[in-house]
Structure 1
């Protein structure tokens, strides 16, 4: 993730440009006045050297101007415009006036558009969101933008939080995991997963398959051959009892003019997209749950299910339908 340089220097205030800020509502004038009136020394602002745009510190910049100061302490960042925006998001999450959920979601959208090869977890870490939330945003962005979708399809790997590239083709990762297990049969699942660039859950499945004498990559049915019935996928598409499935229902809301063409409607759709949990997404992180925390995570899952049930019953009541 991008970082500013350690050295600081004073530059004329007039040489700086306003931030390319992820904050939709702009700066808080009251907070700026409070900083100006405090009399305290202002920490350095972070500035993109190439464009002289402020990355982090617009409130401090405004406070310095209110105080009538001619110069301000600056820490320069050398990188691309896209990297500067990511740093701005990270900085506003870590301290100062925090970004709202809407700010962070829109920031994630922009990062996906500008960095389609970044993994969901890398973007989640930058924007202060969950990996599942970013996955939902990515689906929505790719559905709405052909260029982003094509870029995602053309890439063979994604860049993780650690800067490493990991293949999108699960078969490649499984083969690497199998090689790692054969080289060191006693290696932990986390070590295997790290070496192969797969999740611990995938590493465990590969180990189990090797123990049973099976290939590490499950065989894919040939074209035209009958494959196993995928009950979960069918249920997600068509829903139960003729009701629309999750993806179908969300797509219908996205296309509803009553929601698409006003900000409150779009906010509602974004809210739902980031909270629509799919079991397949959970499986990607299930291996990261330590044994001692499984019960607590199960309690959280049940509590969330209870809250969603309450929401469903309230909505059905408003619509005059039986619960």
Structure 2
């Protein structure tokens, strides 16, 4: 298993060699539909293709099938290659990681299928670790785990993105955090989190609940009540995943370049509350005001987009 879950493979991509195209074998791609012919033709017109990534022991392509097909299309006999040495499971993880970071984006179905496979191979990984590897939100990974796999027997902890093992039952960590706070109420949140083995966000929530005289452990009844009672000022949330598939299959979107570009754009600009909740502590105090204004500006832009779409969707008045 990789020692660093978030950046699992240390790969020297500066060393590449030229190999005969005939020596290469299609690899275990995370793309369910295979290569995109339009993308291949676009790459074929590129003068210098970046090196592809190949598993040295088998000569199977880990990342770069579109570039390989483009080279074949224009009649090249050789292609630049960077080699990777590792087992098949690591090769697949690297393939997914490479495809979600550059080139033609993986579809939601591709990423969900990849998450299923990663969960099957690495049951001990946390939802956040699998989410980072597959390019999904932790909530999506959690749903895939729950519907696809039976709870592991005697599973007490999971490996997080930082390589640390954390308990599956969060209540134990919350109790430890409350004990740390009781002994040192003014301790910094990071120190509390480190001592209790919880996230900084959990440490903050425990401290706020203690200050309010509440139980630091969230009961299932409390969590369900929060989910069932949305604010009167908020609309019912619509999950992008629930509409993306139908939108992508619509011929008006699927066969239009600007339609496909719109779907890719939304994929890259949506924010899952769980994801920003894990990153918000990375913002230094002296930048919090500026970042808050930036977030408010982005929210305003989304509201303008919503208003424009609603106006276009409304029937014209007589």
TM-score bracket, normalised by the shorter chain, equals 0.5 to 0.7
Q: Find 1:53's aligned residue among 42, 45, 60.
A: 60
Equivalent in the alignment of 2:149 = 151
Once the two structures are TM-superposed, the CA of residue 206 in structure 1 deviates from its matched residue by 3.1
Give the alignment of 1:102-141 within 5 angstroms: 102-103=105-106, 105-116=108-119, 117=123, 118-119=125-126, 121-123=128-130, 125-126=132-133, 134-135=137-138, 137-138=140-141
| Aligned-partner Cα distance in 1 for 2:182–2:288 | 29
Once the two structures are TM-superposed, the CA of residue 137 in structure 1 deviates from its matched residue by 4.6
Aligned length: 289
Q: Find 2:24's aligned residue among 13, 16, 22.
A: 16
Segments of structure 1 that go 5 or more residues without pairing to the other structure are: 37-41, 222-226
Call closer, same or farther: CA 1:300–1:171 in 2, change over 3 Å.
same
Check the 8 A contact 2:96/2:114 in 1, yes or no: no
Q: Find 2:95's aligned residue among 56, 76, 88.
A: 88
Once the two structures are TM-superposed, the CA of residue 138 in structure 1 deviates from its matched residue by 3.7
The normalised TM-score by structure 1 is 0.63
Matched, 1:165 2:165: yes
| Aligned-partner Cα distance in 1 for 2:139–2:241 | 12
Give per-residue Cα distances to partners, 1:170-225, cap 9 Å, x unaligned: 2122234345557877764224324544221211333455678876425666xxxx
Segments of structure 2 that go 5 or more residues without pairing to the other structure are: 1-6
| Aligned-partner Cα distance in 1 for 2:24–2:36 | 21
Once the two structures are TM-superposed, the CA of residue 57 in structure 1 deviates from its matched residue by 4.7
| Aligned-partner Cα distance in 1 for 2:54–2:169 | 39
| Aligned-partner Cα distance in 2 for 1:215–1:320 | 48
Matched, 1:177 2:177: yes
| Aligned-partner Cα distance in 1 for 2:282–2:80 | 45
| Cα RMSD, aligned residues only | 4.8
Secondary structure class of the residue paired with 1:235: coil
The normalised TM-score by structure 2 is 0.64
Check the 8 A contact 2:26/2:61 in 1, yes or no: yes
| Aligned-partner Cα distance in 1 for 2:137–2:220 | 29
Equivalent in the alignment of 1:39 = none
Q: Find 2:237's aligned residue among 233, 246, 253.
A: 246
